[in-house]
Amino acid sequence: MPSTKTTRSNTMDISKMVLGDASFTAPFKLIAERDDYIHAFVAYFDVSFTKCHKLMGFSTGPRSRATHWKQTVLYLEDVLTICEGETIIGSMAVAPNKKNPRDVDIMVKYSLSGRRCVVSRVQFYKMR
């Protein structure tokens, strides 16, 4: 997967969340830093505990120290060919599953209008 720069994150304050806040849609923009192929998107989270005596937190990001939490790999239906400087734009919608709220439904919309690849797609995933 090419190295990319992302321009999106989503912040939640669990001390202020209400029913329904666990569902969200987050737009994203990825800019390729080199020519390569994309087989999947990777989602991860960072946690900060700010309401305690000593600030604590961790990241599950691919460049962070390993924890027992892992990244979520969202494989694409098609392999994308991307060139340096090209941009993938899209959004990721996340919601608890209606039958089992411990499961998560994910919808990813993305598009790329590149020199070697033009695609616009919606894909659905279930996390258990």
- Exposure class string for 79-109: b at 16+ Cβ within 10 A, else e: ebbbeeebbbbbebebeeeeeeeeebbbebb
Give the pLDDT score at 37. 98
Give the pLDDT score at 77. 96
Q: What is the CATH number of the domain that holds 25?
A: 2.70.160.11
Beta bridge partners of 13: none
pLDDT tens for 62-109 read 888 888 778 889 999 999 999 999 999 999 999 999 999 889 999 999
pLDDT tens for 24-65 read 999 999 999 999 999 999 988 888 888 888 888 888 888 888
- pTM of the shown model: 0.81
Q: For residue 109, is it within any domain?
A: yes
Q: For residue 85, is it within any domain?
A: yes
124 CB-near residues (< 8 Å, 6+ apart): 105, 106, 107
pLDDT tens for 108-123 read 999 999 999 999 999 9
Domain residues for the domain of 104 are 4-39+75-127
Number of domains in the chain: 1
Instruction: Quote the strand ranges of the chain, DSSP E.
Output: 4-6, 24-32, 36-43, 46-49, 56-59, 72-82, 87-96, 104-113, 118-127
Confidence band of 4 (pLDDT split at 50, 70, 90): low
Give the pLDDT score at 48. 84
Q: Tokens standing for 59?
A: 């990241």
